[in-house]
Amino acid sequence: MTAPYRVRRADGPVIAEVRVPPSKSIANRALVCAALTDGDSRVIGLAPGDDTSSMIDCLQQLGAGIGVRHEDGASVADVVGTGGELEPGPLTLHAGLAGTTSRFVTALAALGAGPYTIDGEPPLRERPMGPLHDSLAALGASVEPGERPGHLPVSVSGPLRRADAVVMPGDVSSQYVTAMMLIAPYVPGGLKLWLSTSLVSRPYLEITKAVMSGFGVDDVEVHQRHVTVGAGEYFPTEFLVEPDASSASYPLAAAAMVGGAVSVHGLGSSSVQGDARFVEVLASMGCLTTVAAHSTVVMRRRDTPLRGIEIDMSDISDLVPTLAVVATQAVTPTRITGVGFIRDKESDRLGDLAAELVKTGARVSVESDGLLIEPTDLLSPARLDTHHDHRLAMAFGLLGLVVDGIEVVDPDVVSKSWPMYWDVLAAIPARRPA
């Protein structure tokens, strides 16, 4: 583990145009679709970071040919698909810390002869996988748990069979549903997935639908309590990945907290990502915002106070740490609701987030399905633990722009999604000469 990173406080307003990495969520979905095609595809705009690397490694083991190169400033994956015929096992597929990779690859494994053992680092072994395992078993897959049922490691083998319907909860993780959607064209008769509880993070399923359509699968319906996908196949294509809206939340939030203006290039009104609406959240807190075709801008005068809000973030839950940190600077309380399920992310994103912010003197309370952040006059220096969570690390970095003496423990955890984050953050604010 590297030494804690001490964030340098901004003495002047933010004035910056920022380029954020391509969307990890979109890129990983596109890689899975490309790997299942019978032909050659190009995925343009791979997200940097460990999650993408782990996805590529697993797909290569399953038989996809993937070469990564740089072209015109973008990372490009040339993918030779498997045609749905995966490399037989036994194979061990290691997902590192990547929940997305572990869940997508577990579903993929059910298409092959196996056996495939899906595993990950200790923190990933703690994350729940049971609903996905149960759904694959309901389609005829052999699912053999390791040390703890419903967790990694797990051994999976196909083939899958036709089923009238599969039932899973919709309020634990949208990644389970996406994993099933991605393999659904290769399930005999397609997939009818009924949700026993209402969906959370529905925009991520819309991303999945859009990516599947980009690879030629259009027979997809997403509803609040059921998802259907017709049988078919993906077709080779060239797929362009848009900038990551979740990553964009951090520089945009910096403008809200410090004052000034930040523009994120390439993320605009045509984005398919639900997290792109974070700009609307900042507008409701008193920021000025502009969303054009190919850019998003957030501005705030330093003499204009931030207002607290009450908001259901069930559809944009990855941004809870970002908003919580912004809310520490508001003059009225902020209540975040609808996100009890994020206790099972890379960290307990309610309890761990609150506990760390309290170290600074922030008034943060955990509620049944969210957080209450109340105003306080002065925050203090503190050393903040990231709890193996890249989103906590990046959010705490923002706090350091307005609170002198913030140190972020295990700063390299940002390599999961944005390895250059600290360099970008250091370059954003205007500062008085030392």
pLDDT of residue 68: 96
291 with 307, same domain? yes
Please state, in angstroms and rounded to a whole number, the distance separating the CA atoms of residues 54 and 94: 7
Least confident of 152-156, 170-174, 242-246, 377-381: 170-174
Domain annotation covers residue 236: no
199 with 315, same domain? no
354 with 219, same domain? no
pLDDT at 1 over 80: no
35 with 99, same domain? yes
Q: With beta carbons less than 8 A apart as the criterion, state whether 249 and 317 touch.
A: no
pLDDT of residue 347: 87
297 with 331, same domain? yes
Domain annotation covers residue 218: yes
Domain annotation covers residue 109: yes
Burial class of residue 26 (count of CB atoms within 10 Å of its CB; 0-12, 13-18, 19+): buried
From 230, 264, 280, give the residue that closes a domain.
Answer: 230
Tell me the average pLDDT across 395-422. 95
Tell me the average pLDDT across 232-238. 98
Dihedral sign for Cα 112, 87, 118, 58, please: negative
pLDDT at 377 over 70: yes
Tell me the average pLDDT across 89-105. 95
205 with 74, same domain? yes
Burial class of residue 164 (count of CB atoms within 10 Å of its CB; 0-12, 13-18, 19+): exposed
Q: With beta carbons less than 8 A apart as the criterion, state whether 181 and 227 touch.
A: yes
Domain annotation covers residue 203: yes
The pLDDT confidence band at residue 114, using thresholds 50, 70 and 90, is confident
68 with 136, same domain? yes
Q: With beta carbons less than 8 A apart as the criterion, state whether 426 and 8 touch.
A: yes
The pLDDT confidence band at residue 430, using thresholds 50, 70 and 90, is low
Residue 35, φ and ψ in degrees, nearest 5: -65, -25
From 230, 260, 282, give the residue that closes a domain.
Answer: 230
pLDDT digits (tens, 9 = 90+) for 251-309: 999 999 999 999 999 999 999 999 999 999 999 999 999 999 999 999 999 899 999 99
pLDDT of residue 110: 97
Domain annotation covers residue 289: yes
309 with 366, same domain? yes
Tell me the average pLDDT across 145-168. 94
Q: What is the pTM of this model?
A: 0.90
Q: What residues act catalytically?
A: 318
pLDDT at 434 over 60: no
339 with 282, same domain? yes
CATH code of residue 273? 3.65.10.10
Domain annotation covers residue 155: no
Domain annotation covers residue 252: yes
36 with 17, same domain? no
Per residue, the 3-state secondary structure of the chain, as one string, reads CCCCEECCCCCCCEEEEECCCECHHHHHHHHHHHHHCCCEEEEECCCCCHHHHHHHHHHHHCCCEEEEEEECCEEEEEEECCCCCCCCCCEEEECCCCHHHHHHHHHHHCCCCCCEEEECCHHHHCCCCHHHHHHHHHCCCEEEECCCCCCCCEEEECCCCCCCCEEECCCCCHHHHHHHHHHHHHCCCCEEEEECCCCCCHHHHHHHHHHHHHCCCCCEEECCCEEEECCCCCCCCEEECCECHHHHHHHHHHHHHHCEEEEEECCCCCCCCHHHHHHHHHHHCCCEEEECCCEEEEEECCCCCCCCCEEECCCCHHHHHHHHHHHCCCCCCEEEECCHHHHHCCCCCCHHHHHHHHCCCCEEEEECCEEEEECCCCCCCEEECCCCCHHHHHHHHHHHCCCCCEEECCHHHHHHCCCCHHHHHHHCECCCCC
pLDDT of residue 431: 56
164 with 269, same domain? no
260 with 402, same domain? yes
pLDDT digits (tens, 9 = 90+) for 305-364: 999 999 999 999 999 999 999 999 999 999 999 999 989 888 899 999 999 999 999 999
Tell me the average pLDDT across 390-395. 97
From 230, 265, 286, give the residue that closes a domain.
Answer: 230
Q: How many CB atoms lie within 10 A of CB 204?
A: 25
Enclosing domain of residue 285: 5-21+245-427
Rounded to the nearest integer, the mean pLDDT of the chain is 94
pLDDT of residue 433: 43
Domain annotation covers residue 316: yes
Q: How many domains does the chain have?
A: 2
Please state, in angstroms and rounded to a whole number, the distance separating the CA atoms of residues 179 and 268: 27
